[in-house]
Amino acid sequence: MEKLTICLLLLLFSLSFFSIADGGSIGVNYGRVANNLPSAVKAVALLKSQGVERVKVYDTDPAVLKALSGSGIKVTVNLPNELLYNAAKRQSFAYSWVQRNVAAYYPSTQIESIAVGNEVFVDPHNTTRFLVPAMKNIHEALLKYNFHDKIKVSSPVALSALQNSYPSSAGSFRSELIEPVIKPMMDFLRQTGSYLMVNCYPFFAYESNSDVISLDYALFRENPGVVDAGNGLRYFSLFDAQVDAVFAALSALKYDDIKMVVTETGWPSKGDDIEVGASVDNAAAYNGNLVRRILTGGGTPLRPKEDITVFLFALFNENKKPGPTSERNFGLFYPNERKVYDIPLNMEGLKHYIDRQSPVAGGERMQKGGKGNVSPSVPGQTWCVASGEAGKDNLQAALDFACGEGGADCRSIQPGSTCYNPNTLEAHASYAFNSYYQKKGRAMGSCYFGGAAYIVHQQPKYGNCELPTED
């Protein structure tokens, strides 16, 4: 009997250890908006050397899918936004796309999911109405090949899809999206046993509100926590609060059974002077502590038993990404395959991981790109402006969206109005982007526009026109 008791105790211990080791899962986004990256074969070898089990790509490049063949790495591929119309309107196109980009590689390349589009609701080309029909047609194509039980279909949404995100318990989807696309998409996910893909960046929330959000809270470091007045739950990380805002939005529409995968999250290692918190130390802390948080198991305060799969953004720094400096510095590795900072990406590496918190002089943290000595912003005062590096076509498309579907107040930039001059695309786009941003209550993700915009903390002025704000 004593031996039996010992065996049972050992079994229970092993099971408890397994449950810890088998918590959530970490993947990495492999973006390639750059002209100096190593070959796909070298990139896959790098992923394997780091013990990465999952990778997400933004297309179906044959060189990448061939390099992943036989690697044992699970793959999420992407049908780009520009193909949504064809995929939605023509079942034959969906069949052909799946044949060329999935069936041709599977199962040697372990494709586990297809991301149909990416952050479609903020796509300036107004592709939202094609999303669910495209998802359904791609799923029908998978049925033809009998892949439907093995490969899931979903679509990554940005947090800007939420009308409310604070407090988490008040999480809700934008009202104009609910009937046309949110409910049909959730019904599809439920019927096919799939999950919601969400892109979640606490960095952007911290950058915009560093005067009221604790850096320790944003970086998973020790902090007193924040109590959600709506449900009484205490949050110790901004990431958990953002994820639970999405779960609350799902619950509000009676989709409590829909699971979630965080398809993008990360923190930049470098930024412009105005980009609060972008630094190597903070990036290492966020991503390293996030890996520990996910791999050691346990869900969020709202869903404590739900382990989450998270994809870090990104594998490499990408030198051709438009926008502020941070956009080109989200990588875990430089293009020469050297680590930007040293963090683990698997359970084995976690055994020796320590968050090496930088010394803090006088109780004040270094901010704005890690350079310090920057005056704090006035609480709540932020503006959204156009990026001159986004390119004329991208800016024009984003401006058209903001003044059209986005509902920005663009009357002041019409000929003869107060902010028509200077008559430049960047000035007009900045006015429209800021109007949209302020109307959305400066919500997380509402100053993005496909990378064509970024947040500033000093009131911008174009000629005699100052961009307004709302208190």
For the chain, the 3-state helix, strand and coil shares in percent, each to the nearest 5, are 40, 15, 45
Name the least confident of 8-17, 67-76, 195-204.
Answer: 8-17
Question: What tens digit of pLDDT does each residue of 154-193 get?
Answer: 999 999 999 999 999 999 999 999 999 999 999 999 999 9
CATH superfamily of 25-56+155-351: Glycosidases (3.20.20.80)
**Which pair of tokens denotes residue 230?**
């709506």
112 belongs to the catalytic site:
no
- Which of residues 327 and 470 earns the better pLDDT score? 327
Tell me if 451 sits within 8 A of 425, measured CB to CB: no
Percentage of residues of the chain with pLDDT beyond 70 = 89
Residue ranges, CATH 3.20.20.80, the chain: 25-56+155-351
Question: What tens digit of pLDDT does each residue of 193-208 get?
Answer: 999 999 999 999 999 8
264 belongs to the catalytic site:
yes
Tell me if 271 sits within 8 A of 278, measured CB to CB: yes
Residue 357 pLDDT grade (very low, low, confident, very high; cuts 50, 70, 90) = low
How far from the centroid of its chain's Cα atoms is residue 417's Cα? Answer: 38
Choosing from 2, 53, 112, 119, the catalytic residue is 119
Q: Could you write out the DSSP letters of every residue in 395-457?
A: HHHHHHHHHTTT----GGGSTTSTT--S--HHHHHHHHHHHHHHHTTT-TTSS-GGGTEEEES
DSSP letter, residue 78 = E
From the list 41, 42, 87, 81, the residue with the least C-alpha distance to 62 is 41
75 pLDDT exceeds 70?
Answer: yes
What pLDDT score was predicted for residue 261?
98
Question: What tens digit of pLDDT does each residue of 373-427 get?
Answer: 222 334 457 788 888 777 788 889 889 888 988 889 999 999 989 999 999 999 9
What pLDDT score was predicted for residue 23?
63
What pLDDT score was predicted for residue 71?
98
Write down the mean pLDDT value for the chain.
87
What pLDDT score was predicted for residue 437?
86
Residue 198: beta bridge partners? Answer: 157, 262
105 pLDDT exceeds 90?
Answer: yes
Residue 279 pLDDT grade (very low, low, confident, very high; cuts 50, 70, 90) = very high
Choosing from 207, 264, 327, 426, the catalytic residue is 264
